[in-house]
Structure 1
Amino acid sequence: MKVEKRQHWSKKPLDSAEVKQMAVRYGLSLLEASILLRRGITEGKDLLFYLEDDLRFLHNPFLFASMEDAVDRLLAAQEEKEQVFVFGDRDVDGVSATVLLVEALHELGLKPEWKVPEGEETYGLSESVIALAVEKECTLLVTVDCGISNAAEIAKARQAGIDVIVLDHHVSPEDLPLAMAILDPKIPEESYPFPYLSATAVVSKLVWALRFAQTPLYNQRLCLLNVRQGEDGLTVEACHLVNLLVKKRLCLVFTSETPRSTAALLAEFLQDQEIYVWDSGQQTALLKQIFGARALISLFDMAPGILQAFPGLKSLTLPEVLAKSRLPRYFPDTEPLDILVSLFISSVHKKFPPLGSEFTSVLDLVGLSTLADMMPLEGENRILVRLGMQSLNKSTRPGLRSLLMKLKLLGHPLSTTEVSWQVTPVLNAAGRLGEPASAIDLFLTGEEEKRKLLADRLEELNQERKALSQTAWTDILPQARQFWEASGERFALVHDARVPKGITGILASRLMNTLGVPALVMTEQRNKTIGSLRTNRGFETRRFLDAFADLFIDYGGHAQAAGFQMLSSNLEEFKSRLSSMLPQFALTDKTDLTLDLDAEIPLNMLTADLIKIVDYFEPYGEGNRPLIFSTKGLRVLDADLVGKSGAQHLKMTLDAGTAKWPAIWWNALEFLPSAKVVSGSIVNIAYQVGRNYFYGQESLQLTILDLEMV
């Protein structure tokens, strides 16, 4: 009997000329260019984050409007040896952010106190935390992965004489807390250009800024200048730099007809600046053509420092150096001065290793948190996670190494998929079951034996979390289906006091994926109803929550994941209002029955080299799913049903002619009720390519997503 495809396979048609043009411009293979075009990654500003992994392409931390305020306050705490209190959250992002900030404060010579919500304590800053900070005689409180919605608590801290810095990444309420400094890329008025950082990434920006503040360049007024001779005269480009951030630019052209006032304008721009140029002798001579032979001109030559940092440029002229830059391929309007600024920044990273090579060591936790919190893998998140995965795979962080050893994940390079599915759930389990301090201690302790015990404990908690989740899933599914059907298959709602608070988010995610609609799971805790909401299909999460603001004690979250608390006495009013309001929230159509293919691979190209393409498009995660290929005409050499709890998965060996491939089709039995794939069958497949590790040996494997027998 013929086995037919379960889903529609969709492969976006492409213009072959456009594919070739992109391949030539960016130095790509035709297959790489095709995949990028099919995914809609066509603009240079977006391609940069797929093709580059240099720190200089990250956004400058001082783009945060309050970054200098945060840095200066922490430097003052360092100077006065103040007691600093760090308060975080219980999930992977909150744990990682807490660890990173505590380590940074240790670098400053401080001995911070820290705390995250334990046991049944609620999310976010509370009066009890403020009281603890007062008891510890703290004069500075820093919140990480929380705080943006805690205006009242922060006001109480100020009344107690405690300054507060908020490091958060959640959507902000209309009224912001009156903190000493707020770093949150989602604040509407925030000047930082990328809103999708994890909280740990926000902390890493502060860490970099604090390290920069230890250099002589902090808050210094610098000017980069380039004068070039043209056919019609001199072109002068200059910019003011503060903390490696371009603050002001000037471009002037001087010809025989240029009025004297133009030279005065240039002189005013250069006044009181340390002026950096490439080849001070040549630049001085050109400037004297503008200001006169007797003009006193003081310039700093940045060429020696750049050439020391990049010896490969020593034999090149400045035009040749500029021609080697990759910036113009991404930004066609790039000027020579832009390239000099980029070179100057790169040389600073080289000169001060804590800003460059040593900074990458903190990115393991940034990568971990970005994947765990399902931040979109676009923009600078791609570089942060790519470099973070490199750092994570070096296993230089002792606590992380102990955990990977416990999970038997040492000995081979981890992929983002393995981190998302095998590492972050274990760390999250500690917070879900009320012991997030165990995860923080794992990273901060200097005792190897303690690290081993903590790694064991985290895995125990993870197994307990799995058992609790499965029991709760069985309990809540009938109630969820009942509401789903009553709502016209638009929403899933569960209220069950038996559900542990720590797993409401897991259950909501599973309901959303199972039923294909937004899902809300609520439980009870001390006369309060606690809810976790997970949304999809364009559901307007923030508007939904705002509609119940008068019922909530507090609420917040991301576009697709949020939570709230309310008095249990408000529950019935909430349910009533929810049912009447749901029709006002539109859902986009389901796309579950369509497989978007990245490329069709001919039989003769289905070789081991395909894994290089898969690696090229790492990291995978939110907004950048793993590549999906299709191939026609493979012969099945063998096929067997396998599975620990009953034969339900199909394991095969497929013959592509040039290579034989092991393949697995998970839960295949669901789709093969009346037909079998047998040896000798010819099949067309949609699949992903990955690695399989067994006793330290690596092999490649196809994961079948859909199949048809022809």
Structure 2
Amino acid sequence: MRWTIKPKPEQDAIRDLMDAIKVDPLVATLLLQRGIETYEDALRFFRPQLSHLHDPFLMKDMDLAVRRIEEAIQLGQNILVYGDYDVDGTTAVALVSSYLLERYPNVATYIPDRYAEGYGVSFAGIDFAHDNEIKLIIALDCGIKALDKVAYAREKGIDFIICDHHRPGDQIPQAVAVLDPKRSDCSYPYDELCGCGIGFKLIQALEERAGRPVEGILSYLDLVATAIAADIVPITGENRVLTYYGLEVINQKKRPGIRAILNTVRKSELNVTDVVFIIAPRINAAGRMEHGRYAVALLTETDQARAEEMAKAIEQFNADRRDLDKEITEEALLQIQENKEEDRFTSVVFKESWHKGVIGIVASRLTETYYRPTLVFTRSGEKLAASARSVKGFDLYNALEACKDYLEQFGGHKYAAGLTLEEHQYAAFKARFEEVVSSTIAPEMLRPEIRIDAEINLADITPKLMRILKQFEPFGPGNMKPVFLTHQLRDSGFAKGVGDDEKHLKLAVQQGRSNPLQAIGFGLGEKLPLVKDGGRFSAVYSLEENHWNGQVSLQLKIRDIRPD
């Protein structure tokens, strides 16, 4: 594990920010590291406002999209809201379809079948639209590379509006409107929106055209916040505003589907981490194990009793997903060992019976084990399909671009992607991918890194600091929870292993004459001998509140430990 201390800002900048917003040097340092340099920056950071949202019409083609939707409504045309089967896609479909249905009846939804159709816009989906006399398809979280599908739809008299956030190819589909801030010809001020976020900008534009304020659609932000958290996009800029207000809506538990998911959770207030680990996996489980339409149905259900029944079914999907995930991960790890591929620069594994719905999770698990770019393949019809995951700093998308001669199609982001290829190309692709990664990845990228914000003493940790850090929320990419380093620690005699197989470490740390602070290190049980013998050690950690039996206390969440 690499420990990297972030560069400390210039002293003049620290002093200026301290004077401007009346904070201590540590808080000023943490803010400057996040690009907060002035009083105005700090005000926007600590007090997100709806007025900070950008004008949706700054997005290229937004006026065309709004005009075409208005035309469809005026002409009484059927509209199909189409989206991918993951959290981003299903929340986006739930958002746009329920918004339109409140104002217009002729709206249907479509989620492609993961196994029969695969990712993105499909010919089968367009045929469904044609068979049901649909004249307009709004594609969410997909479509930016669907040139042939959009052309096929045009031949059948069907228009497309594409709302996507993936990188475009060399050509843009010939749709009525293509909303994607990553278009090279789009000057929208923020290009890190997820698919559901772009769906929200579309309905914001429709509201604005109708002369209504954005406050009228705040109830949809629980869906947007869930998608932002699940899709691991930066929680900066506009995403920070959307997540901030979306968490408020989630915690009000107004949406029957989300309330049904949360009914078994004993937490009074959820944060982004809770959304990632509680809400998102259950929404995802529908598309992984059965069909994404179950997730859309749950998220759009208005009757609480029916939502509870749907949530029970999805809970079972999630339990089945966990079992499969564990089983396939074990098989994939064994395959790497049997093939003697532990020392490669990549992990590329394949078994045709692996469940397509969980290979993305398995790829993440393998990345955690070997920490290198990873692809997990399974059979999908006559082709092989894979989910790919990367490590911090390495652009997976560019690596796949260098292997595109072997691929039928691929798409995604810097750190996650999906692809398909012909089975006879598998061995050649695997060799080429290893060659590309080995020649381009920096050696340090193959070791997990902990980025440390600041070195502090335990005496610096106060309830006041914790109150300020809580205002840094919502945390996520671009604004991660601050990580601190402290030297010359010792255990005060409470160190022990806890949990299954005592794989976690619980202790109370002291520095000099400081009062002991409770600490927990998940997965650090093997470090017990290091702290048990009374020796001094350094730790990197974040701060959190521990809620137990109605009491709230400060606790160190330890990430790693080294002897001093």
TM-score by length of 2: 0.91
How far 1:62 sits from its partner (Å)? 0.4
Contact 1:556 1:562 in 2 (8 A): yes
Specify the alignment match of 2:506 in structure 1: 651
> CA distance change for structure 1 residues 567 and 9 in 2, over 3 Å: closer, same or farther?
closer
1:394 to 252, 255, 258: 252
Query: Which of 344, 356, 360 is matched with 2:218 structurally?
Result: 360
Distance of 2:135 and 2:8 partners within structure 1? 61
State the alpha-carbon separation in 1 of the partners of residues 444 and 539 from structure 2. 26
Q: Please identify, of 25-34 and 128-137, the stretch whose mean Cα deviation from structure 2 is larger.
A: 25-34
Residue aligning to 2:540: 686
Q: 2:58, 2:187 within 8 Å by CA — same for their partners in 1?
A: yes
Q: Give 3-state SS (helix, strand or coil) of 1:663's partner.
A: strand
1:597 equivalent in structure 2: 452
The equivalent of 2:73 in structure 1 is: 78
Q: Which residue in 2 is equivalent to 1:145?
A: 141
Letter in 1 for 2:31: L
Instruction: Report which structure shows greater RCO (CA 8 Å, sep ≥6).
Output: 1
CA distance 1:683–1:571, change in 2 (3 Å):
closer
| 1:629 corresponding residue in structure 2 | 484
How has the CA–CA distance of structure 1 residues 472 and 629 changed in structure 2, closer, same or farther, with 3 Å as cutoff? same
Aligned to 1:128: 124
Deviation at 1:111, TM superposition (A): 3.5
Residue of structure 2 aligned with 1:476, choices 320, 328, 332: 332
Task: Identify the match of residue 20 of structure 2 among 16, 25, 28.
Answer: 25
2:297 aligned residue: 441
Q: How does 1:538-577 map to 2 (within 5 A)?
A: 538-577=393-432
Distance 2:4 2:403 in 1: 41
Q: In structure 1, how many angstroms separate the alpha carbons of the residues matched to 2:230 and 2:543?
A: 23
Please say which of residues 472-481 and 535-544 is displaced more in the overlay.
Answer: 535-544
Q: Of 40, 46, 53, which aligns to 2:48?
A: 53
In the other structure, the counterpart of 1:454 is 310
Paired position in structure 1 for 2:202: 206
Q: Which residue of 1 aligns with 2:321?
A: 465
Q: 1:592 to 1:579 in 2, by over 3 A?
A: closer
For 1:159, which of 134, 155, 161 is the aligned residue? 155
Q: Could you give the per-residue CA deviations for residues 186-234 of structure 1, whole angstroms, max 9, x where no partner exists? A: 112122122211000000000110011111xxxxxxxxxxxxxxxxxxx
Q: Deviation digits for residues 539-584 of structure 1, max 9, x if unmatched?
A: 3433333334344332211121111122323323423443454444
Q: Which residue in 2 is equivalent to 1:95?
A: 90
CA distance in 2, matches of 1:640, 1:23: 38
Q: Which amino acid in structure 2 is aligned with residue 392 of structure 1? A: I
Identify the range of structure 1 (558-567 vs 37-46) with the bigger mean alpha-carbon deviation. Answer: 37-46
What secondary structure, in the 3-state scheme, does the structure 1 residue paired with 2:544 have?
strand
Matches within 5 A, 1:514-533: 514-533=369-388
How far apart, CA to CA, are the structure 1 residues paired with 2:338 and 2:7?
38
Cα-to-partner distance string for 1:359-400 (whole Å, 9 max, x where unaligned): 332222111111100102222222221222222222222211
Q: Which residue of 1 aligns with 2:169?
A: 173
Cα distance in structure 2, aligned partners of 1:44 and 1:608: 24
State the Cα distance separating 1:71 from its structure 2 match.
0.6
The amino acid of 1:691's aligned partner reads: E
What is the deviation of 1:602? 3.3
Whether the aligned pair in 2 keeps the contact of 1:148 and 1:166 (CA below 8 Å) is yes
Alpha-carbon distance change, 195 to 636 in structure 1, aligned in 2, over 3 angstroms: same
Q: Which residue number in structure 2 is paired with residue 373 of structure 1? A: 231
Once the two structures are superposed, residues 66-103 of structure 1 have per-residue CA deviations (whole angstroms, 9 ceiling, x without a partner) of: 10111111111222222111111111101110011011
Structure 2 runs not aligned, ≥5 long = none
Report SS of the residue matched to 1:141. strand
Partner of 1:345: none
Cα distance, 1:460 vs structure 2: 1.5
CA–CA distance in structure 1, aligned partners of residues 122 and 291 of structure 2: 18
- Please, what TM-score do these two structures have when normalized by structure 1? 0.74
For 1:170 and 1:593, how far apart are their aligned partners in 2?
Answer: 26
Quick one: distance in 2 between partners of 1:433 and 1:87?
Answer: 20
Aligned partner of 1:324 in structure 2 is: none
Aligned equivalents of 1:633, 1:622: Cα separation in 2: 30
**Does the 8 A contact of 2:495 with 2:531 survive in 1?**
no
More moved, 175-184 vs 539-548: 539-548
Name the CA distance, whole Å, in 2 between partners of 1:197 and 1:17: 34
Letter in 1 for 2:482: L
Per-residue CA deviations over 1:444-490 (Å, capped at 9, x if unaligned) read: 1122221111111222111211111111111111333577847x632
Say whether the 8 Å CA contact 1:165–1:182 is kept in structure 2.
Answer: yes
Q: Counterpart of 1:506? A: 361
1:236-282, Cα deviation, whole Å (9 max, x unpaired): xxxxxxxxxxxxxxxxxxxxxxxxxxxxxxxxxxxxxxxxxxxxxxx
Q: Distance in 2 between matches of 1:439 and 1:697?
A: 36
Aligned position for 2:241:
383
- Structure 1 distance, partners of 2:22, 2:105, is 48
CA contact (8 A) 1:78 1:110 kept: no
**1:578/1:658 Cα in 2 relative to 1: closer, same or farther (>3 Å)?**
closer
Aligned residue in 2 for 1:427: 283
CA distance in 1, matches of 2:114, 2:449: 43
User: 2:262 aligns to what SS in structure 1?
Assistant: helix
Matched-pair contact (CA < 8 Å) for 1:82–1:110: no
| Counterpart residue identity of residue 560, structure 1 | Y
Give the C-alpha shift of residue 624 in structure 1.
Answer: 2.6
TM-superposed deviation, 1:41: 4.7
Write the distance in 1 (CA, Å) between the matches of 2:531 and 2:48: 46
Q: Quick one: structure 1 residues 535 and 8, their matched pair in 2 at CA, closer, same or farther if it must change by over 3 Å?
A: closer
Query: Is the 2:527–2:561 contact (alpha carbons within 8 Å) kept by the matching residues of 1?
Result: no
Identity in percent: 31
Alpha-carbon distance between aligned partners in 2 of 1:75 and 1:650, rounded to the nearest angstrom = 59
Does the CA contact (< 8 Å) of 1:120 and 1:434 recur in 2? no
CA separation in 2, counterparts of 1:648 and 1:599?
28
CA contact (8 A) 2:84 2:112 kept: yes
Mapped to 2, the partners of 1:696 and 1:143 lie a distance apart of 47
Residues 11/536 of structure 1: CA separation in 2 closer, same or farther (3 Å cut): closer
User: In the superposition, relative to structure 1, how do residues 704 and 442 fare at CA in structure 2: closer, same or farther (>3 Å)?
Assistant: same
Alpha-carbon spacing, 1:61–1:572, altered in 2? closer, same or farther (3 Å): same
What's the CA shift for 1:157? 1.1
Counterpart of 1:437 in structure 2: which amino acid?
R
> Aligned-residue CA RMSD in angstroms?
2.7
Q: Secondary structure at the match of 1:190?
A: coil
Instruction: Give me the whole-angstrom Cα distance separating, in 1, the residues matched to 2:350 and 2:104.
Output: 48
**For 1:423 and 1:696, how far apart are their aligned partners in 2?**
25
Whole-Å separation in 2 of the counterparts to 1:641 and 1:464: 33
Q: Secondary structure at the match of 2:51?
A: helix
Moved more, 592-601 or 441-450: 592-601
C-alpha contact (below 8 Å) 2:5/2:454 kept by paired residues: no
The reply on whether 1:677 has 2:536 as its aligned counterpart is no
Give the distance between the partners of 1:616 and 1:587, measured in 2 at CA: 36
User: Using the alignment, how far apart are the partners of 2:252 and 2:441 within structure 1?
Assistant: 46
